[in-house]
Chain A
Amino acid sequence: EADIYQTPRYLVIGTGKKITLECSQTMGHDKMYWYQQDPGMELHLIHYSYGVNSTEKGDLSSESTVSRIRTEHFPLTLESARPSHTSQYLCASSGGQGATYEQYFGPGTRLTVT
């Protein structure tokens, strides 16, 4: 079982609030990813990181930002939440020695902005 954690699992918050979604992995993976998934829809990559101090935007435009100061930690921040940000956010990681680039996912954070 993959050791990748996300907190909180569920978050209901009002419009305009700043939020940070946490993601941590204990596998020593160098690559980490954030995906957004609306109900019944496919996952879309919104951010990824190849290592410490490396972050890139994904295929789906997002108003969120990310940081990668430590290998194991890849938080996602929304400065001012809006109802359009309501979605499920999934964090993943891959890499390590002899990597096959298999991606391992966390349990997700379901965000509702009212």
Chain B
Amino acid sequence: KQEVTQIPAALSVPEGENLVLNCSFTDSAIYNLQWFRQDPGKGLTSLLLIQSSQREQTSGRLNASLDKSSGRSTLYIAASQPGDSATYLCAVHSGGSNYKLTFGKGTLLTVNP
């Protein structure tokens, strides 16, 4: 059974700092991995999707990497802003005919002005 762990559970940084969020998964036979952002009481916004054949994806100040063999992904946020404050969720799609995502518990990020 796939399990997804995110470290740290919470992170507080001053504005402008570069930061890294970590995600690990137990079964490396994945189809893809998605990073989401969730604001309090809201739905999820998809940030980046990395296919299993890819090593990284970039969108603006965000860069996600994937090391499938070691079961790890990182989300790098450059020059953090107070508007980046949210919970960041990592989710793994384990492929085959199973289209379901397995989620981690998330990292609560606070960027202080």
Residues of A participating in the B interface, judged by any CB pair closer than 8 Å: 2, 6, 31, 33, 40-45, 48, 50, 58-59, 88, 90, 92, 94, 100-108, 110
Please determine whether B43 and A45 come into contact, CB atoms closer than 8 angstroms.
no
**Cross-chain contact B44 with A102 (CB below 8 angstroms):** no
- For B31, the closest partner residue in chain A by CB is A101
Question: Are A45 and B101 in contact (CB-based, < 8 A)?
Answer: yes
Q: Is A105 a contact partner of B45 (Cβ separation < 8 A)? A: yes
Q: Interface readout for B39-75 with A: 1 if CB under 8 Å, 0 if not? A: 0011111100101000000000000000000000000
- Across the two chains, which residue of chain B brings its CB closest to A109? B43
Whether B99 lies near A42 (C-beta < 8 A) is: no
B46→A42 contact, CB < 8 A: no
Q: A103 contacts B34, CB within 8 Å?
A: yes
Give Cα A2–Cα B91 distance, bound, in whole angstroms.
Answer: 18
Main secondary structure of the interface of B (DSSP, over half): strand
Chain A residues near B46 (CB-CB < 8 A): 2, 102-105
Q: Which of B31, B42, B51, B103 contacts A43 (CB 8 A)?
A: B103
- Specify which chain A residues have a CB less than 8 angstroms from the CB of B91 in the assembled complex: 43, 103
Alpha-carbon distance between A43 and B44 when the two chains are bound, in angstroms: 10
- What is the CB-to-nearest-CB distance from B54 to chain A, in angstroms, rounded to a whole number? 11
Which chain B residues border A103 with CB–CB below 8 Å?
Answer: 34, 46, 91, 101
Of A2, A58, A90, A101, chain B has the most CB atoms within 10 Å of the CB of A101
Q: In the complex the two chains form, what is the Cα distance from A79 to B98 in whole Å?
A: 28
Distance in angstroms between the alpha carbons of A45 and B92 in the assembled complex? 13
Q: Give Cα A90 to B105, complex, Å.
A: 15
Do B100 and A33 touch (CB < 8 A)?
yes
**One of B32, B36, B42, B51 near A107 (C-beta < 8 A):** B42
Complex contact A102–B41 (CB within 8 A): no
The 10 closest A-B pairs by CB, nearest first: A105-B44, A107-B43, A105-B43, A42-B105, A43-B103, A108-B43, A102-B49, A42-B103, A31-B99, A106-B43
A107 to B38, CA, bound (A): 10
Q: Which of B36, B43, B100, B103 is most buried by chain A, counting CB atoms within 10 A of its CB? A: B43
